[in-house]
A and B are shown apart, each in its own frame.
Chain A
Amino acid sequence: MSFVVGFLAAVTFALLSPVLQLMARARGWTVAPVTLLAIAAIVTHGLGVMLGVFVVAQFQYWDAASIFGFCVMGYVFAFGAVYKSVSLEILLGLVGRTERRAPLSDIVERQVPALFQGRIGNLVDSGLVEPVGSHFAATAAGRTMAGRVGQLRHAFGIGDTSLYDFSSD
């Protein structure tokens, strides 16, 4: 029964989360989508625990938390996969065309540079990069974050190209 309570809390999360994302966009909230996911997770987990305490005689917290965590993380995983994937943006761009095909040169010269500029816009909006005339420079916050990312990459033996390694992956 505790598993059922955890599952119901996860379903509530799956209903609440998109509502929060839509409200944030409609009302111009500056809260990051990932923060909204965290808020929805905390709220629905709390509701689930309350439901379990009141409804289940011997409520097993970790049974409920395990299935709740699994479902919520699966949701976040799917959310992250489709949110800003460059590969999927390319695929959707092709599918969105009436002729459903495009020259390779068009993707290289137009779509990917547009994605590149969009991400730079995200970095500027989040205060990690600032425009300096026709140039861009990392802000103090950007340098701090880049330093931390570099340390983590070094510790976990991850390269700094962001390219998929098809030979040794």
Chain B
Amino acid sequence: MNMLPGPAQAAAIGLSLALPLVLLCYARIAATGGSGRRFRLGCVSILALYAIACIALPGQRHLDDVIGGLFLLATAMMFFYILFSLLAWGFTLTLLTALDKAGRPLTLEQWAVAYMQGGDLGTFTHNRLKLLVGAGMLTVADGKLAPTTKGMAVARLVKFVRLSTGIG
């Protein structure tokens, strides 16, 4: 068994470890925009560096080495995206931080207000609905919500993934 990564794979491992550092640096630059845009920018930067490494590294490139490196980079991107999205858009985590920030015990209603920083759950609902409507999964007509054909297809896919991953 050969435990040593190829040159491109070694570069991919190094760049995978560098991704959170790149995101930390981009967080200091206001022009990089919101959380989602900054993450995408971080991924593109890492991919560009990987392409440069594949060209600049001495020796002949082997396809399996380059493909393995791409798989490793994609793995790291998905891993960090899961953590990043939990921090940025995690409902339960934000409930906890809102309660902690209040510094005192809260009733359910007070907690909802603290979570929305003065707003209410209606604001939160509209934010999530905007995502579904914007993605073409829901339509709003006469104050009623209805799934589109795309929404129905996504719902079927979600049910299939839940069933096949054992969530039920």
Chain A residues with Cβ below 8 Å from B125 are 90, 107-108, 112
Whether B162 pairs with A82 at a CB distance below 8 angstroms is: yes
| The residue from B28, B89, B140, B158 contacting A164, defined by CB atoms under 8 A apart | B89
Whether B75 pairs with A73 at a CB distance below 8 angstroms is: yes
**A116-151 interface bits toward B, Cβ cutoff 8 Å, 1 = contact, 0 = none:** 110110110000110011111110001101110110
**A42-80 interface bits toward B, Cβ cutoff 8 Å, 1 = contact, 0 = none:** 000000010011000011111101110110111111111
Instruction: For the A-B complex with A67-B71, A133-B105 known, give 9 more contacts whose Cβ atoms are closer than 8 Å.
Output: A19-B166, A61-B2, A83-B167, A94-B147, A104-B140, A105-B143, A116-B112, A157-B26, A161-B94
Whether B167 pairs with A79 at a CB distance below 8 angstroms is: yes
A156 to B80, CA, bound (A): 12
Whether B82 pairs with A156 at a CB distance below 8 angstroms is: no
The interface size bin for chain A is 35 or more
**B127-168 interface bits toward A, Cβ cutoff 8 Å, 1 = contact, 0 = none:** 111111010011010011111000110110011011011111
Most-contacted residue by chain A among B36, B72, B95, B116 (CB, 10 A):
B95
Whether A113 pairs with B121 at a CB distance below 8 angstroms is: yes
Q: How many A-B residue pairs have CB under 8 A?
A: 262
Q: A107-B129, A135-B107 are in contact. Are A84 and B92 (CB under 8 A)?
A: yes
A77 to B60, CA, bound (A): 34
**Closest B-chain residue to A77, C-beta based?**
B78
Whether A70 pairs with B34 at a CB distance below 8 angstroms is: no
